[in-house]
A and B are shown apart, each in its own frame.
Chain A
Amino acid sequence: MASESSARSDARVSPGRSVTIRCDGVIHEYDGRSGWIGSGSDRSVTALEDVSLEIETGEVVGLIGPSGSGKSTVLHVLAGLIVPDDGTVELLEDDLTACSERERTRLRRERVGLVFQQFHLLPSLTAVANVALPLVQLGYSRAERRRRAERRLEQVGLGDRTTHRPGELSGGERQRVAIARALVTDPDVILADEPTGELDTETGMAVLDDLVDAAAERTVVLATHDERAVDRTERAISLLDGAVVDDGR
């Protein structure tokens, strides 16, 4: 699993910190073919072009770049939702490109928390049920799921909103629920895709602060095009047209 290139990269890791995420030569194209059984014209789009990066354990890193630069695609690759066409992706010492779909899902379930720009809360569920959703697959009892979810909601300042449904919450509160959901399984890595994109500036920064605070010692990767959000990160990796133009070191 540990390739020659990763061994080479280890030399740049800060003393006392290990590497949580490592991408090496990642290439990915979106298949844009259309028409009957994909027989139409080939309109493939290169989303990632030889992306290599390293993120250390506990680091809060921003992925920045204009729209279409590949930020979200990198996050999806790191979350195991996309398998790149080429290159290797190591997350917590597992090579995602060599893992099966089932293994990637399990890794995501147990060690990764995801936060989305559109929150992606289930409108029919209460805040506490939304937060508890990832615990279903881990086999916790109903009471334990509820207890853990309530604790996370309290941590993001929504202890008094547990029984509210997403439609009864403000945008900032919804994103805090989403953050609590990402944290409920106590993951090692938080991947957040434009978490402030749907929020006004003040609320967005407050939510971001909550995210970084709640993440504590966890590794956080934050995709954003908001310059002010970058101020909350330790390092910013710049992307342009699917390639890393500056890894912020």
Chain B
Amino acid sequence: MVDEEPTERTRVRRWLAIVRFAAGRIATQARRTPRRTAVTVGLVAITIALLVTVTGISVALAGDTAADDNEADLRVVPHEGGTFSPVVGVEGPRLSDVHDRTETIDDRADVDYATPVLMEVVQARSPEGEESVNVMAVGVVPRESSPPVGGVPTAPLEPGDPHYANGSYDGPQTGDVVLSTAASDQLNASEGASLVVSGSQMTANASAGTYEVTTVEDADTASLSDGLPVVVLRLSELQTLTGADDEDLADQVLVGTDSDGAHEAIEETYPNATVESGTEPGLAALQDDDLALATSLITLVVGIGICTLFVTTATGLLVERERQTLAVLSAVGFPGRSRLAVVAVMTLTLTVVGAVVGIALGYAGVAVTNWIATSTVTSSPIATTDPLFVPYALAIAVVAGLFALPYPLYLTTKTDVVAELRQ
């Protein structure tokens, strides 16, 4: 018997050739039995597509805030239920003294910009119009490099917030407002038009103001989760309209920075608030929402279970069709381990191909879900996508493939080589 042990190089070549051979067998199956292969891939794909779509809805549910449409690196938000200064509970906790504190953050060299964000539902109408339209007003302190907020760019607003006037709120009102296209359509107001804006829940010191449309921005994400079109104006002017000037309130502060040190400094500025990283709603957002997390976990478990059953059944049939090939491999000297590897690679290849198709279908599913939702019950998307969905879905498919593996491998070991060679 030949006693030479294979070198590492020959071992690698051998395994590469086995993987290539197994992938070739899948391609052959796809050519010879396209319908069967399509069903196998399709079943996995449907499972993964449903998983991606439901996860997209869960993530959107978890990250359902206006500021999630911004591009900030950090977000300062009140602790849930916290009522200590500087967090004050007004219709839910808010941040107070935001102008001064945000200025402190913005003055840091490692911070590109910092702006407080106040979101209020207000009513707007043209001076001649009689019917007011509810819009989501977003108040910001414009900076040189402020990001879009609620999907609407803030750059058209001149930097600064003169009406604040060091907390006296007696500075000049600019009267500038930026409309999203949706708001422009609903208000029938274009650039240069006048608008009368008033707080929808008027407080004692709240008032109405007349604004001029600085620009209309075509913003895809201008419609927020509650279906309202977005208008952006200066923070102090919105505070005055809604009575939020009393404690200089805002819902959150958006910070643009690449510095890790800024995080700590911001926490010192707002000791009773939470500083969150990231801006887009993503998988990480699930951690903060029990319902969304539970939905995703159930989808995950059910998805893996169903996918495993589909892959088990499909690859069991696949091995049945490949029995003679496996017998020939044995006859020409492929050991059991290599034959099992061929079947394992075939199983995982089918699963991954199904997953890739499923991810594409899942993204389409998210789009369709949003289209149906916005066409019927809401004007805003209810599902979202995240680049992490791709590795997430692939990993789940691979896990399902690994769970399914024992059955086709068992069938492989049970293949009667001699009986197959005699056929």
| B378 → A minimal CB distance (Å) | 52
Contact A103-B1, Cβ < 8 Å, known A81-B418, A139-B9: yes
Write out the residue numbers on chain A whose beta carbons fall within 8 Å of the beta carbon of B330.
81, 105
Closest to B420 in A: A120
Contact A140-B13, Cβ < 8 Å, known A101-B336, A114-B332, A181-B332: yes
Q: Is the CB of B332 within 8 A of A134?
A: yes
Q: Is A170 an interface residue (CB 8 A)?
A: no
Write out the residue numbers on chain B whose beta carbons fall within 8 Å of the beta carbon of A140.
10, 13
* Contact among A107, A110, A118, A136 for B18, CB-based, below 8 A: A136
For the complex, give the distance between the alpha carbons of A185 and B334 in Å: 13
Q: Is A141 an interface residue (CB 8 A)?
A: yes
Interface of chain A residues 129 through 162 with chain B (CB within 8 A): 133-134, 136-142, 145
| B338 → A minimal CB distance (Å) | 6
Q: Is A94 an interface residue (CB 8 A)?
A: yes
Q: Is B423 an interface residue (CB 8 A)?
A: yes
Write out the residue numbers on chain B whose beta carbons fall within 8 Å of the beta carbon of A138.
10, 14
- Selected A-B contacts with CB under 8 Å, 12 pairs: A94-B1, A105-B335, A110-B1, A116-B421, A122-B328, A124-B32, A133-B328, A137-B334, A137-B338, A139-B7, A139-B13, A181-B332
Given contacts A118-B423, A133-B328, 7 further A-B contacts (CB under 8 A): A81-B330, A105-B336, A108-B331, A109-B333, A111-B1, A124-B32, A136-B334
| A225 → B minimal CB distance (Å) | 15
Write out the residue numbers on chain A whose beta carbons fall within 8 Å of the beta carbon of B418.
76, 81-82
For the complex, give the distance between the alpha carbons of A102 and B327 in Å: 15
Write out the residue numbers on chain B whose beta carbons fall within 8 Å of the beta carbon of A105.
330, 333-336
Most chain A CB atoms below 10 A, which of B14, B335, B423? B335
Closest to B14 in A: A139
Closest to A114 in B: B331
Q: Is A79 an interface residue (CB 8 A)?
A: yes
Q: Is B407 an interface residue (CB 8 A)?
A: no
Q: Is the CB of B28 within 8 A of A124?
A: yes
Q: Is the CB of B10 within 8 A of A108?
A: no
Write out the residue numbers on chain B whose beta carbons fall within 8 Å of the beta carbon of A199.
none
Report the 5 A-B pairs with minimum CB-CB distance, sorted nearest first: A109-B333, A139-B10, A124-B28, A134-B332, A136-B17
Q: Is the CB of A111 within 8 A of B11?
A: no
Q: Is the CB of A137 within 8 A of B1?
A: no
Contact A137-B335, Cβ < 8 Å, known A110-B1, A124-B28: yes
Write out the residue numbers on chain A whose beta carbons fall within 8 Å of the beta carbon of B332.
108-109, 114, 133-134, 137, 181
Mask of B321-348 contacts with A, CB within 8 angstroms, 1/0: 0001101111111111010000000000
Chain B residues within 8 Å of A, Cβ to Cβ? 1-2, 6-7, 9-11, 13-14, 17-18, 21, 24-25, 27-28, 31-32, 324-325, 327-336, 338, 417-418, 421-423
Q: Is A69 an interface residue (CB 8 A)?
A: no
Chain A residues within 8 Å of B, Cβ to Cβ? 72, 76, 79, 81-82, 92, 94, 101-103, 105-111, 114, 116, 118, 120, 122-125, 133-134, 136-142, 145, 181, 185
How many residue pairs link A and B with beta carbons under 8 A? The number is 92
Write out the residue numbers on chain B whose beta carbons fall within 8 Å of the beta carbon of A137.
14, 332-335, 338
Q: Is the CB of B1 within 8 A of A92?
A: yes
Write out the residue numbers on chain A whose beta carbons fall within 8 Å of the beta carbon of B28.
123-124
| A139 → B minimal CB distance (Å) | 3
Write out the residue numbers on chain B whose beta carbons fall within 8 Å of the beta carbon of A79.
331
| A18 → B minimal CB distance (Å) | 16
Closest to A92 in B: B1
| A108 → B minimal CB distance (Å) | 5
Chain B facing A: main interface SS: helix
For the complex, give the distance between the alpha carbons of A192 and B17 in Å: 27
Closest to A139 in B: B10
Q: Is the CB of A120 within 8 A of B335?
A: no
Write out the residue numbers on chain A whose beta carbons fall within 8 Å of the beta carbon of B423.
118
Write out the residue numbers on chain A whose beta carbons fall within 8 Å of the beta carbon of B333.
105-106, 108-110, 134, 137, 185
Q: Is the CB of A81 within 8 A of B331?
A: yes
Q: Is the CB of B1 within 8 A of A136?
A: no
For the complex, give the distance between the alpha carbons of A68 and B328 in Å: 22
Q: Is the CB of B1 within 8 A of A81?
A: no
For the complex, give the distance between the alpha carbons of A70 and B421 in Å: 15
Write out the residue numbers on chain B whose beta carbons fall within 8 Å of the beta carbon of A123.
28
Q: Is the CB of A139 within 8 A of B421?
A: no
Contact A141-B336, Cβ < 8 Å, known A94-B1, A124-B24: no
Write out the residue numbers on chain B whose beta carbons fall within 8 Å of the beta carbon of A142.
13, 17
For the complex, give the distance between the alpha carbons of A226 and B253 in Å: 92
| B329 → A minimal CB distance (Å) | 8
Write out the residue numbers on chain B whose beta carbons fall within 8 Å of the beta carbon of A102.
335-336
For the complex, give the distance between the alpha carbons of A145 and B14 in Å: 11
For the complex, give the distance between the alpha carbons of A79 and B2 in Å: 16
For the complex, give the distance between the alpha carbons of A145 and B13 in Å: 11
Write out the residue numbers on chain B whose beta carbons fall within 8 Å of the beta carbon of A136.
14, 17-18, 21, 334
Write out the residue numbers on chain B whose beta carbons fall within 8 Å of the beta carbon of A124.
24-25, 27-28, 31-32
For the complex, give the distance between the alpha carbons of A140 and B17 in Å: 9
Contact A120-B331, Cβ < 8 Å, known A81-B421, A111-B1: yes
For the complex, give the distance between the alpha carbons of A107 and B17 in Å: 20
For the complex, give the distance between the alpha carbons of A133 and B332 in Å: 8
Q: Is the CB of B328 within 8 A of A81?
A: no
Closest to A94 in B: B1
For the complex, give the distance between the alpha carbons of A228 and B406 in Å: 49
Write out the residue numbers on chain B whose beta carbons fall within 8 Å of the beta carbon of A120.
324, 327-328, 331, 421
Q: Is the CB of B11 within 8 A of A139?
A: yes
Closest to B10 in A: A139
Write out the residue numbers on chain A whose beta carbons fall within 8 Å of the beta carbon of B329.
133
For the complex, give the distance between the alpha carbons of A114 and B332 in Å: 7
Write out the residue numbers on chain A whose beta carbons fall within 8 Å of the beta carbon of B7.
139
For the complex, give the distance between the alpha carbons of A124 and B9 in Å: 28
Write out the residue numbers on chain B whose beta carbons fall within 8 Å of the beta carbon of A108.
331-333
| B26 → A minimal CB distance (Å) | 10
Closest to A109 in B: B333
For the complex, give the distance between the alpha carbons of A76 and B17 in Å: 27
For the complex, give the distance between the alpha carbons of A142 and B21 in Å: 12
| B15 → A minimal CB distance (Å) | 9
